[in-house]
Chains A and B, each alone.
Chain A
Amino acid sequence: DTGVSQDPRHKITKRGQNVTFRCDPISEHNRLYWYRQTLGQGPEFLTYFQNEAQLEKSRLLSDRFSAERPKGSFSTLEIQRTEQGDSAMYLCASSRWVNEQFFGPGTRLTVL
């Protein structure tokens, strides 16, 4: 499968715990994006990398959230001290051009 992959697909955690998600983009794509989606809403942009550089961050990305893409390939999104409001689907997308983003299957986070 040469699409975008995300791991894990589901994560259940207790409030206050830290969680980390991984995204593997399509191999020739230099752009990588993280979005968050809650029920009944469209995806909301969190952050964007071009190669290993994090070029854009949303105001939604509080200081509990951090994302990395150390070698310009896979990326991780960490949420520290999770809160119930963090429960959502976390989507990763990659692209070669800004306008055609391909999404992974997402990681569904439930914070109890």
Chain B
Amino acid sequence: RKEVEQDPGPFNVPEGATVAFNCTYSNSASQSFFWYRQDCRKEPKLLMSVYSSGNEDGRFTAQLNRASQYISLLIRDSKLSDSATYLCVVPPEGGSEKLVFGKGTKLTVNP
């Protein structure tokens, strides 16, 4: 299994839809996970951190399933402004400080 693997997408959804992305990871000892958002030709920005079973922030919910080694990001009532690439991020093994990014899942919310 790769260090981190994401749904390739792209996802095209209408405004108001609920959409979910999954991400699997290989390091069973990982304690923290992140979702970053990256707009076209911009830098990644931290969207959510997941340290235990999950985290919720408004329309966004991140969940962690340690047994199956995956995390998910759920976006409810999607807005046009949610259109972006969503990057799943896990820390690697061995106490390294580098973050390992997935390839990203592109979301387009259509009017």
Contacts and interface: CB of A to CB of B under 8 A. Distances in A.
* Interface SS majority for chain B: loop
A67 to B, nearest CB: 14
| Chain B residues touching A, range | 20 to 34
Given A98-B91, A99-B32, A99-B91, A42 B102 contact: yes
Interface in A31-64: 31, 33, 35, 40-45, 48, 50, 55-56, 58
B1 interface: no
A42 B87 contact: yes
Given A98-B91, A99-B32, A100-B49, A43 B97 contact: no
B46 A42 contact: no
B91 to A, nearest CB: 7
A25 B69 CA distance: 33
B103 A48 contact: no
B57 interface: no
B25 to A, nearest CB: 13
A41 B98 contact: no
A102 B45 CA distance: 7
Given A40-B103, A99-B32, A99-B34, A105 B98 contact: no
Interface of B: 32, 34, 42-46, 49, 87, 89, 91, 96-104
Interface of A: 31, 33, 35, 40-45, 48, 50, 55-56, 58, 91, 98-106
